Amino acid sequence: MGVWAAVTWKGGEKSAGSRDLSSLQAPAAMRMGLSVLAGLRSSPCVASRRALSAAAVRRSGDGGMTHFGSRTVPKDEKAKLVGNVFSSVASKYDVMNDVMSLGVHRLWKSHFISKLDAGKRPNASEPLHFIDVAGGSGDIAFGLLDHAEAKFHDTESTMHVVDINPDMLREGEKRAAEQGKYYNDPRVTFLVQNGETLEDIPTASKDVYTISFGIRNFTDIQKGLNTAHRVLKPGGIFYCLEFSKIENPVVDIAYQQWSKLLPVMGSMVANDYDSYQYLVESIQRFPSQDEFKGMIEKAGFASVGYENLTFGTCAIHWGIKV
């Protein structure tokens, strides 16, 4: 069973270029309503940044090289370098996110989970099968399961928590143990896995694929999106939360000034300047909302759209496998 029969979407306006799911040719039992908030219009400054971003993406495919923050490195080295960053910040993951977003990431994640509104409905015959990629800390995975239980009394749906970094997964397991929930739970599997390949996840086996603040660290983002499409069942949902491009030039200037302070704050709070410097640069390198939307469509998803949060500081992106 795909997620069509089990998930209802919530939202406001529809972003340009996306379609209501009701317009797709699907059986009545598989219809969902889809509406989303519109993104902000582009400015000349934003267009310029988008051109630079597109150029960076093109460069990443040249000669087996890619970007690691502001550095250009061999593709086969990036995963190790990113792994070092997250091993460094694993024990202070929440502190890291609080510093980078002034604590607003907690509101973004809560909205992300509520908007998806996923869980096995009382009249559904099968549970949902979730996969949360780059989700080692467990905050999104556990939040999704909590939401499903609280709203739909769903205690059957399963969750794969996947991360390429064992240190991050250990933090997730530690969190589960401290909460007294989802630790040694047969419904929850922690798996060390490269999100670009997910070689241990069967094709067409998942109903919901989520990734939060992780896909920008992939060496090959398009490959990761293609893999997301592979592991989802027909009717399955791809759902992503990621830092993005601010489209209001005044707000963007303030944000860029704030970003310059983040490595210094990282040094003060977590004694780790370099990791925070990379994280800031990885945000700057990530494609714009519309560029990333195009990449999701290229992977084969339909009804692709996005919702900007906090002026576009981050955005929720989605697509449906049909």
E strand or H helix that includes residue 282: helix 273-285
Tokens of 205: 């086996």
Closest to 311 measured CA to CA, from 20, 16, 35, 46 = 46
> Residues at the annotated binding site for S-adenosyl-L-methionine?
137, 163, 194-195, 212
**So what's the pLDDT on residue 34?**
31
Between the alpha carbon of residue 193 and those of residues 119, 168, 204, 218, 220, the distances in Å are 25, 12, 17, 12, 15
What's the pLDDT score for residue 229? 98
Could you give the CA distance from residue 263 to residue 100 in angstroms, rounded to a whole number?
9
Q: In what order do the strands lie in the sheet with 129-133?
A: 188-192, 158-163, 129-133, 206-212, 232-243, 314-320, 302-309
Q: Among 97-111, 127-141, 206-220, 286-300, whose mean pLDDT is lowest?
A: 97-111
Residues with Cβ within 8 Å of residue 247, at least 6 apart in sequence:
39, 40, 41, 42, 43, 46, 308, 311, 312
Whether 319 has a pLDDT exceeding 60, the answer reads yes
Residue 101 and residue 217: Cα distance in Å, rounded? 18
171-187 in b/e form (b: 16+ CB < 10 A) is bbbebbeeeeebbeeee
* Residue given tokens 């200037």 in the structure block: 253
Instruction: Compute the distance between CA of residue 292 and CA of residue 308 in angstroms, rounded to an integer.
Output: 13
Widest pairwise Cα distance in the chain:
56
**158-163 and 302-309: which strand pairing?**
unpaired
CA distance 223 to 126: 30
Structure tokens at 114: 């509520």
Half-sphere exposure (Cβ direction) of 276: Cα atoms closer than 13 Å: 25
Confidence of residue 50 (pLDDT cuts 50, 70, 90): very low
pLDDT, tens digit, 9 for 90 and up, residues 229-287: 999 999 999 999 999 999 899 999 998 998 888 888 777 777 778 777 888 888 999 99
pLDDT for 32? 32
Question: pLDDT tens across 133-182, in order?
Answer: 999 889 999 999 999 999 999 999 999 999 998 988 998 999 999 999 99
Residue 288 has φ and ψ, to the nearest 5°, of -70, 170
3 state DSSP class of 258: helix
pLDDT digits (tens, 9 = 90+) for 57-82: 443 444 587 766 556 767 767 666 66
pLDDT higher at 248 or 4 = 248
CATH of domain 75-87+104-247+285-321: 3.40.50.150
Q: Which residues pair with 190 in a beta bridge?
A: 161
pLDDT digits 0-9 by tens, 188-236: 999 999 999 999 999 999 999 999 999 999 999 999 999 999 999 999 9
Please report how many Cα atoms fall inside a 13 Å half-sphere around the Cα of residue 172, on the Cβ side.
31
How many whole angstroms separate alpha carbon 268 and alpha carbon 289? 32
Amino acid symbol at 213? F
Residue ranges of the binding site: 137, 163, 194-195, 212
Q: Please report which confidence band the pLDDT of residue 91 belongs to, taking 50, 70 and 90 as the band edges.
A: low
| DSSP conformation letters of 74-114 | EHHHHHHHHHHHHHHHGGGHHHHHHHHHTTTHHHHHHHHHH
